[in-house]
Structure 1
Amino acid sequence: MYNRPESAERVTDHLVTLGISLPRWSYGPLDPVSVYIKLSPNPDWMSKAKRVTISSISVGIEEEIIYNHEGDEPTRKINTLAKQRQTVGVRMPEAGYFTNLGLVFPARELRDNEGVLLRGKREYPMYAVSGFTTTGTLYKIEYYLFVKAKLSSARDILLRQPIVVCPFDHAGCKEEMEAIEQAAKDAAHISPDNPMLPAKTIIKASDPAGLRALGIAVVGGTRKPLIE
């Protein structure tokens, strides 16, 4: 479900509309983050919208930690993990302005200065990310992909799109999902009462080979044990 594309739009002063499109909304360490950006003028205010100048467009990833999110006074702390800025400096075209911006999701180095990978603890597993999307009783960690368009003759537009951050990259998650799907298929053939035995076989009276499955054959109108 995290591979489906996501799109969003934001308007500040009804002159310019900022729209973004993401090919997927789940990322891990060193995953490429690509954003399709579109700035469209308002056709009802075209004369004013064409006087707007696009100064720059910024893309980044923010980590928002909310302490006591279930209480009356939650505390929010926002950290910028990665940011990229592109200078544009053009007037708003009548057909709109389109561009693609991308960055790499930051990863944490697990090795020390000498290149040694330290042994991790079971209580504190070592991941290549500083944090991931999670919700607890005392705190909650969320991640946002923000796109900011700095304009002249119009108000700046800021759009924050929530994303999901995973401790594993996209390739690792795909391998894990394939293993989980295969395990689920194998579990369907196991009896829940005794996992050492295969699943129970149900034979209906209307089955044409039902007696054969039970080891019985009809010979001369009499049921006899089947000997193969």
Structure 2
Amino acid sequence: MALAHALADKAGAVILPHFRTGLAVDHKGGAAFDPVTAADRDAETAIRQALAEACPSHGIIGEEFGESRGSSSYCWIIDPIDGTRAFIIGQPLWGTLIGLTSGGAPLLGLMDQPYTRERFWSGERDAFFRRDGQTTTMHVRPCATLADAVLASTTPDMFEGGDAEPFERLSRAVRLRRFGGDCYNYCLLALGHIDLVVECGLKPFDILPLVPIVERAGGVVSTWEGNDPREGGRIIAAGDPRLHALAMEMLAG
């Protein structure tokens, strides 16, 4: 955990000088705009260099530079800026994601937002939030019904084809839905401000570091079918297991 915090500090020091500066934005390719900046690349490079020095036998999977296989069972999962679209327009709704797995199972997760000086992470049994040096334990809030729930998702554009109608059906049943937020939404769920996060098309580095944060705050994370979320795809996170079951049922039709 100490190493994860040190990695977040290094990444934040690289990223912050670029934020709200009008830096160049590249498109990774594909039909949908998929932005990447020097801040993304430089932050992941800094993390990889630190890991190579601290634990050279560990593997790494990062959004910008792919997979580096290690000789041990440990693997770090890195997304230097989750929420690059928010980053390039100056919104502080992005974060650095750092996770560690052993044999594929999540051990720890951390999300750092250096601009707001907020950090969310998982301990062995609990989840924690720190701002301006003050650390508190996080807990999800109870919410047993869809009618009382607040639902968040990064963008409606991620729900394509057959996924659009089930999501629309679910979002009509909740009290409030909001778009935008990326990784921030999962941390606000762990902090007890959001009840549901529902998304599609996630990669492992988008979700795996967030799983232990949500779970150790008392929440539930799975695919829409209730399966293991570590490979990404269609994801649902809920603070209350009762709400999780109701949302899965509605998404299934």
The TM tier, using the shorter chain, reads: under 0.3
Tell me which protein shows more helix as a share of its residues: 2
TM-score when normalising by structure 1: 0.22
> Considering only CA atoms, is the larger Rg found in Structure 1 or Structure 2?
1
Tell me which protein shows more strand as a share of its residues: 1
